[in-house]
A and B are shown apart, each in its own frame.
Chain A
Amino acid sequence: MSSSSIDNVQPSTSAQNNTSDELEPGACPDSILDPTDSFEEFASEMSSSLQSRHIALTTKSSTISEIQCEINKDFKESSEIKSTKSSEDLQNKNDSMSESGSSSNLIDQNNEELDSDKEDYLHSPELINKEKHVFILSSAGKPIYSRYGNEDKLAGLCGVIQALVSVVEDQNHDILRSITTKDCKTVFLVKGPLILVAISKSNESETQLVLQLTYAFNQIVSVLTLTQLNRIFEQRRNYDLRRLLSGAERLIDNLLIFMEKDPAFLLGAVRCLPLPEKSRESITNAITSTCNKIRDLVFAILIAGNQLITLVRMKKYTLHPSDIHLLFNLVRSTESFKSAESWTPICLPKFDASGFLHGHVSYIAEDCQACLILLTVQRDAFFPLSQAKHTIAEKLRRSNCLGAINDALNRNEDLPTTNPLRHIGILEIRHFMYKCKSTAQLFTSDPVSIDRPQDNRTRPKEGGDIVEKKIEKLSDIDYVSNYRKFCSQIHCTSTPAKLIFRSNSDNTILAWVTNGFELYVTFDALMEKDQAIKAVDRLLRWIKKEEQRIFIMNAPTF
């Protein structure tokens, strides 16, 4: 379809020299985020053998109990307050799951009735012609989640998937990873008691699909905790997990949509809301000064429009971008947070998959759609946190930070970050995205336009169909999907590319990775290499100049 040339050579002189003697844009010595790349994890996922897979999911110390111990120790020293309870209690009651038998039987009966038209169902318009299917089932083959259609009617398909996975495991002592046909990739991921499958006709690589499945798994863990998930299936291999996930399907639905659109997932980075350095500083100060005496508070996170405003953390602990993505997804998918203060159990799988943190979630003010999440290990801390929230909101209003947040959210035209390409004045660049690796933060030339998520799951769900569309003007989402194959070449484990410059009849794309950053730029089709390098050079200098505004450059603690 195009003429293409790949350069695996080092980038030519000018850009290299200008950035090598200083820190790359956005880098700072201390990071609030754990910059471990998800690609490294993917590599370990792929190299895992059958045995190690089972061990990996069970032996991990609990960060939450570590924090609780720490606090308990302090409490005992001052002998003031009664000891905190392990978050495990929360799940005690689920030991009494024996009552659950009846409803799963019901479903089995349904399936028998439907057996005759099952074949037809697989060809129904709810299911055919979708770009990507995601199925989640238990290792016993019971359907748990289907992105489209009705899981009940997919019991037959789930049986086939389960059979494929277990035949390879039992007879060949091997792991089924993927099946590739002419126009379709099927990727399998077995995680604990669950089997996750993606069937995709998009241009996403196998790695990217596995990452998406891992996210879907983490979303389930975030709702139930890994401890509970494992225990349920240890007790009853045949358990119908949909009972416990009811109401959470929409989280998985929204997450899957979110992942296809937002490059933050592709790059394993977090997008920050661009704010004047002063405003961000006073927001952070308002939070630290209010919360520094609340000892059980682990993280205080302020987010707006899927972007991070600030994150204050307990010393020693950082958050992984994928945990923050799950928080973004939770807030974005839950309208009811807007009506009142909520007190919510949240499990952050990378932080501690074994237990719940307790979250005080609330929007900061009627006239400012920033959402404050206060995460603690103490299950009865609602009232002190509720009061802290009101104090913080009051401080932000008085220091005029709410206005600054609103300006950034509404993309006020006066801000340089609202339309960076026009502000820099590089006309040849159509779109770019930049990730600072050491802080796992991301900046793109356009905001990602994500439609309002659906609150209620309606079936059969619409959308997701493969459509032939005439491309007139690319949307940000199209740019991002164009970057996918560059991204996978750069992160390819066997022969990673450092610099790719490729042009076709539509555009020219440059992808460049160094120790400090990843940069993806789309130019006009007839872009020369040296011109491109010059433009990239200017772009990097602009990012460096605006870095205080674009990125969170410090790592505050309580």
Chain B
Amino acid sequence: MKVIEAKIVVLGSQGVGKTSLVVRYIGKMFSKHISPTIGASFFTCNISVDDARVKLQVWDTAGQERFRSMAPMYYRNANAALLVFDISSLNSFQAIKGWVKELQSNVPEPMVMSVVGNKCDLESSRAVPHAEAAQYAASIGAQYCETSALHDQGIEQVFVTTAAALLRLAGAGTNLRSYDSADEDRLLSGAPTEETPTHTGRIELPAWSIDNIAHGEPRNTCC
């Protein structure tokens, strides 16, 4: 079985439902009283597509402006990005365009982008027309989905199509880490062990090469 590992970053303005989306997909639940993310949260999940498996490292980032400067730490070396906006807020849609520009100028490697219009249960107060968002997504070569974390609509699809796109990307020979499951026993030695870790994490974690960890060096960023 083919297995690939990918890093995916979830970006978007505050309050659009990034954490709700991820928690709905990974934790299979929804809470109305979720507190704002501080910094970023880290999740992992496995998605099976056809006869291949995608291991996703999900970085759910904070949307508040004060964390904006930390974003490069999370999107560096990412293989995919979920750009989330709230269909009832035009500003949050405009913010997506800023994120796309930033990603395009700062991430040299090819990246799977998905534009996600969340809160589609708020159809009555929609501020971003479906067609406009879909058209924009097409213009940047991204897929467009509308979701509702509240009603659990469309979220599965976002992750599955992203995983499928990542598989295609891996097939095209990129820096995505892929291996056959025959290797997997060996690679599983990267799972937590009792051994004392060293300070770099390089030795115990062959699955996470140092290049896949966000580094602190500033690049020339767009804003």
A residues whose Cβ falls under 8 Å from a Cβ of B: 81, 84-85, 89-94, 96, 99, 223-224, 243-248, 250, 289-290, 292-296, 330, 333-337, 339-345, 359, 378-384, 386-388, 390-391, 394, 455-456
Which one of A290, A330, A382, A391 lies within 8 Å of B213 (CB-CB)? A382
* Residue pair B42, A339 in contact (C-beta under 8 Å): no
* Residue pair A380, B73 in contact (C-beta under 8 Å): yes
User: What B residues does A223 contact at CB under 8 A?
Assistant: 66
Shortest C-beta distance, A362 to chain B (Å), equals 9
Known: A223-B66, A247-B36, A391-B194. A384 touches B200 (CB 8 A): yes
* Residue pair B70, A336 in contact (C-beta under 8 Å): no
* Residue pair A455, B221 in contact (C-beta under 8 Å): no
Shortest C-beta distance, A380 to chain B (Å), equals 5
Q: Counting CB contacts under 8 A, is B216 at the interface?
A: yes
Restricting to B194-223, which residues have a CB under 8 Å from any CB of A? 194, 196-201, 204-205, 208, 213-218, 221, 223
* Residue pair A96, B223 in contact (C-beta under 8 Å): yes
Shortest C-beta distance, A463 to chain B (Å), equals 17
Shortest C-beta distance, A458 to chain B (Å), equals 11
User: What A residues does B46 contact at CB under 8 A?
Assistant: none
Name 15 extra pairs, CB < 8 A, besides A294-B199, A344-B38, A345-B39: A92-B69, A92-B218, A93-B68, A99-B223, A247-B64, A248-B66, A339-B27, A340-B42, A341-B42, A342-B40, A383-B205, A383-B208, A387-B205, A394-B194, A456-B35
Q: Counting CB contacts under 8 A, is B182 at the interface?
A: no
* Residue pair A336, B36 in contact (C-beta under 8 Å): yes
* Residue pair B65, A243 in contact (C-beta under 8 Å): yes
* Residue pair B64, A387 in contact (C-beta under 8 Å): no
Q: Counting CB contacts under 8 A, is B192 at the interface?
A: yes
Q: Counting CB contacts under 8 A, is B189 at the interface?
A: no
User: What B residues does A455 contact at CB under 8 A?
Assistant: 33-35
Nearest B residue to A330, CB-CB: B38
Shortest C-beta distance, A349 to chain B (Å), equals 16
Shortest C-beta distance, B107 to chain A (Å), equals 16
Which one of B33, B62, B223 lies within 8 Å of A93 (CB-CB)? B223
User: What A residues does B216 contact at CB under 8 A?
Assistant: 84-85, 89, 378-380
Known: A290-B196, A336-B38, A380-B213. A387 touches B204 (CB 8 A): yes
* Residue pair B73, A379 in contact (C-beta under 8 Å): yes
Which one of A224, A333, A382, A390 lies within 8 Å of B66 (CB-CB)? A224
Known: A246-B65, A382-B213. A334 touches B42 (CB 8 A): no
Shortest C-beta distance, A530 to chain B (Å), equals 53
* Residue pair B66, A244 in contact (C-beta under 8 Å): yes
Q: Counting CB contacts under 8 A, is B118 at the interface?
A: no
* Residue pair A387, B41 in contact (C-beta under 8 Å): no
* Residue pair B41, A339 in contact (C-beta under 8 Å): yes
* Residue pair B69, A336 in contact (C-beta under 8 Å): no
Nearest A residue to B205, CB-CB: A383
Which one of A81, A99, A359, A394 lies within 8 Å of B200 (CB-CB)? A81
Known: A84-B216, A391-B194. A342 touches B199 (CB 8 A): no
* Residue pair B196, A343 in contact (C-beta under 8 Å): no
User: What A residues does B198 contact at CB under 8 A?
Assistant: 293-294, 384
Which one of B35, B42, B66 lies within 8 Å of A250 (CB-CB)? B35
* Residue pair B196, A387 in contact (C-beta under 8 Å): no
Task: Kindly state the separation between the CA atoms of A380 and B213 in the bound complex, as whole angstroms.
Answer: 7
Task: Kindly state the separation between the CA atoms of A250 and B37 in the bound complex, as whole angstroms.
Answer: 13
Nearest B residue to A342, CB-CB: B41
User: What A residues does B214 contact at CB under 8 A?
Assistant: 379-380, 382
Task: Kindly state the separation between the CA atoms of A311 and B190 in the bound complex, as whole angstroms.
Answer: 28
User: What A residues does B41 contact at CB under 8 A?
Assistant: 336, 339-343
User: What B residues does A244 contact at CB under 8 A?
Assistant: 64-66
* Residue pair A290, B64 in contact (C-beta under 8 Å): no
User: What A residues does B213 contact at CB under 8 A?
Assistant: 380, 382-383
Q: Counting CB contacts under 8 A, is B52 at the interface?
A: no
9 nearest CB pairs, A to B: A344-B39, A384-B201, A93-B69, A85-B216, A247-B36, A340-B41, A390-B192, A455-B35, A379-B216
Shortest C-beta distance, B205 to chain A (Å), equals 6
User: What B residues does A243 contact at CB under 8 A?
Assistant: 65
Nearest B residue to A452, CB-CB: B33
Restricting to B45-75, which residues have a CB under 8 Å from any CB of A? 60, 62, 64-70, 73
